[in-house]
């Protein structure tokens, strides 16, 4: 099978990629259990792409219950080198309006109940995470969104909260004071696991 070098993780409301052709469903086994759903591998503009619905088709897995280690491991096993991770999230800024696309460049973790690493149990690995998102991929995504005539914002601090509940008004006000721009529940630990996997 030809490797799918690009992986796409679909967030809430994005359970398939209808533009994919020549598709096959793959159900990889991983040392961490099963991924959220079967991974659909298909061709888009001549490139093989692997698509995974983060919460499973039908949105059956809550943010805290996601097996992110299995998801990232499975994508890596298919040859994925870059991941576009799509999240439905909230805005902490008035100028980041509904339906705008935000491509963040920073991350702040407020989760507390998730396995955060592939490592441990006697294997200690430290990764650089000062820049949690790939600047080259972010630049390409921003250009693609702008070319589609959608409203795009390049840069911003993404705060990840545990969920599944949304933040209180008091929490959101504190997050704004901290300089956070958008809020969601799933970018952690996906981003750091991808970095550990050298994606």
pLDDT of residue 161: 98
Residue 1 lies in a domain: no
Structural domain of 87: 6-196
How many domains are contained in the chain? 1
CATH number of the domain encompassing residue 68: 3.40.50.1580
Identify the pLDDT of residue 78. Answer: 97
Query: Over 80: is that where the pLDDT of 1 sits?
Result: no
- 39 within some domain: yes
Answer whether 104's CB lies under 8 Å from 157's CB: yes
End-to-end CA distance of the chain: give it in Å, rounded: 20
Instruction: Look at residue 13 in the predicted model and tell me its pLDDT.
Output: 87
Q: Is the pLDDT of residue 79 over 80?
A: yes
Segment 61-89 mean pLDDT = 97
pLDDT at 96: 97
Residues 45-57: pLDDT tens digits? 999 999 999 999 9
Q: What is the pLDDT of residue 64?
A: 95
What is the number of alpha carbons within 13 Å of residue 193 lying toward its C-beta? 24
**Is residue 170 a part of any domain in this protein?**
yes
What are 175-188's pLDDT values in tens digits? 999 999 999 999 99
Averaged pLDDT score across all residues of the chain: 96
Q: Give the pLDDT score at 117.
A: 97
Q: What six digits make up the tokens of 161?
A: 């909260």
pTM: predicted TM-score of the whole model, two decimal places? 0.95
Q: What is the pLDDT of residue 2?
A: 84
- The backbone torsions φ and ψ at residue 195, rounded to the nearest 5 degrees and listed phi first, read -65, -45
């Amino acid at each position: 099978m030809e490797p799918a070098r690009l992986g796409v993780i679909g967030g809430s409301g994005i359970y398939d990629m209808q533009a994919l052709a020549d598709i096959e469903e793959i159900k990889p086994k991983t040392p961490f259990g099963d991924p959220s759903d079967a991974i659909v591998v298909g061709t888009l503009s001549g490139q093989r792409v692997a698509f995974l619905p983060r919460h499973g088709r039908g949105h059956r897995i809550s943010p805290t219950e996601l097996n992110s280690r299995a998801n990232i491991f499975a994508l890596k096993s298919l040859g994925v080198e870059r991941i576009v991770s799509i999240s439905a999230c909230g805005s902490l800024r008035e100028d980041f309006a509904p339906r705008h696309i935000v491509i963040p460049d920073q991350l702040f973790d407020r989760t507390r109940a998730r396995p955060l690493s592939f490592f441990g149990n006697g294997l200690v690995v430290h990764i650089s995470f000062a820049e949690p998102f790939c600047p080259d991929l972010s630049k390409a995504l921003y250009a693609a969104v702008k070319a589609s005539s959608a409203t795009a914002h390049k840069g911003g601090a993404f705060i990840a909260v545990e969920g599944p509940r949304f933040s209180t008004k008091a929490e959101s006000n504190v997050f704004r004071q901290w300089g956070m721009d958008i809020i969601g529940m799933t970018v952690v630990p996906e981003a750091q696991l991808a970095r550990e996997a050298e994606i």
